[in-house]
Amino acid sequence: MTKIITEKNVEIPMRDGTVTRADVIRESSIETAPVILQRFPYDKDSINTLAIINPIHATQRGYIVVIQDTRGRFNSDGGFNPFFHEQTDGYDTVEWIAEQPWCNGKVGMFGSSYYGVTQWLAASQKPPHLYAMIPFVTASNYYDGWTYQGGAFQLGFNLFWTYRLAADFLSKQIKDGKATIEDLEENIIAQSQIDEQYKVRPLQDAVNENIYWYKDWLQHYMYDDYWKKVSPKEFYKEIDIPVFNVGGWFDIFIGGTIENYIGMKNRKGNLGTTGNQLLIGPWSHGDGNWGIYPDINFGIYASSLAINLQEKCLRFFDYWLKEEKNQLDNEKPVEIFVMGENRWYKEKVWPLANTEWTNFYFHSNGKANTRIGDGKLSVEKPTWEIEDIYLYDPRNPVPTLGGQTLLTGMNNATNQGPKDQREVENRSDVLCYTSDPLETKLKVIGPIKAILYTSSSAKDTDFTVKLVDVHPNGKAIKLTEGIIRGRFRNSLEHPELLVPGEIYRFEIDMLVTGNVFLAGHQIRVEVSSSNFPRFDANTNTGGNIAEETYEDMTQAVNRIFHNETYPSHIILPIIS
């Protein structure tokens, strides 16, 4: 039997002299081979590193696997700053690997979440020996879709992720005399009490003062040059390698996964459909890719094992790193799991070719508050109808129930994915617009957008929208959602405060879904102004939200208009 050799903590120098360290895994009988590289900040010695691709299986397939701790993390030297060293460090790592006698000159990158960050940012620098990559559940922009969304700070995820990163960071700072044992203990206690930390104001006080990047994120609350220089979407034209994008309908980064696919599709190049592929399952971030949730189970075909995702990934690498003629070029490039039907589809294009963009309009007699209100949803345009009104109080925000996020709380339970929304739909500050029960099934696959005509008594406020599948038994399963911070209604780069009482048109990106509303089900749209702690609660003052306290907060009276002049609606991609 061929022996697997693992070389631990191989030193890989960066251009500034910083030494990073990686493990090299290969079969003893292989002299040279293509390399699969993974770079991440989570400790290569203690986690299931390759996840979908088993490193032993990959080496048996004829690859050499390199797994690296990124700069400043665990076994690697240097200072850690999320995102901001990954361009040059990624380039240097790829090119160092290509120079080794065991590499045949071809490197592929693979991995999920931040492992996707290290791929896109390396690729943005065009290392000559990077031949292909498979970014899994990752973003296209580390401002909109990672740290913020629609201008709102993704508080739950940012705090959860920062606490996770902080332990090793503070441990190294203690060694360097820049932090104390008390700082580390404070972080451990805060992480264990995260439900309370979500409520801390000002926002920066929830983290240790040594965690400078968290303060930087709060300071750069617009899409400015700080973010642009590390945003993959700004570099699509520079990237000319094959990419296999993998995402999940309930993943926090699903918007970025889709944008990365479309961005690479629209760039000028000769890779064709084989070099730009997309796969989406009914998965949330870090759920094991099973498609099984407490409130709904998408069946035996929903898991990544059911479709043998490992084989799909290795087959992609075989085609581009080994030049194997495995018929990949004869297959459709888009593969998606459609919920409700609970089956996989293969398609030629995204969005799907036979999409009918259909407006579903809001209706009521001014009492759409709660799920038992008079809010209706239909394809008929409204004529004269009285607007709906609710009071948004940032001291009592609508609680997050699942969704496309990643956060913990509630006795360390994971709060993400398709959860039943009835609890929040009982609140008077949640407007519900619900269709009649469907006579036949309705297939909705693609990007979702909401158009709201609103006014507020405040200089700034948020508007949130959810798309919900209401089952015959009343269960209300959230499919997708979006948010817009009022001041960012026209631009994420140039905020403009609201004039109280003036009516504005808001266009809200609700990301994407792939769902069949079955006969007897109802389509529901929820509208409110908060989703906490997924997003920080807007204080409504028009000031710097990150610096404000509870004493600064003020209530806002918000109105949703739905009439002939201001026809608020949601746009659904109907597949015939």
Catalytic positions: 113, 251, 285
Q: Is the peptide bond before 202 cis (omega within 30 degrees of 0)?
A: yes
Residue reference for tokens 């059911």: 306
- Read out DSSP for 38-105? EEESS-TTTS-SSTTS-HHHHHHTT-EEEEEEPTTSTTS-S---TTTTHHHHHHHHHHHHHTSTTEEE
- Report in angstroms the alpha-carbon separations of 409 from 127, 192, 193, 346, 568: 41, 9, 8, 37, 34
Angle, helices 114-123 vs 86-98, to 10°: value is 80
* Contact assessment for residue 281 and residue 313, using Cβ atoms and an 8 Å cutoff: no
DSSP character for 487?
G
Which one, of 243, 237, 5, 15, lies nearest residue 109 by Cα?
A: 243
Q: How far apart are CA 146 and CA 161, in angstroms?
A: 11
CB-count exposure of residue 525 (10 Å: 0-12, 13-18, 19+): buried
Pairing of strands 33-40, 103-112: parallel
* Contact assessment for residue 298 and residue 282, using Cβ atoms and an 8 Å cutoff: yes
Which one, of 133, 95, 129, 126, lies nearest residue 111 by Cα?
A: 133
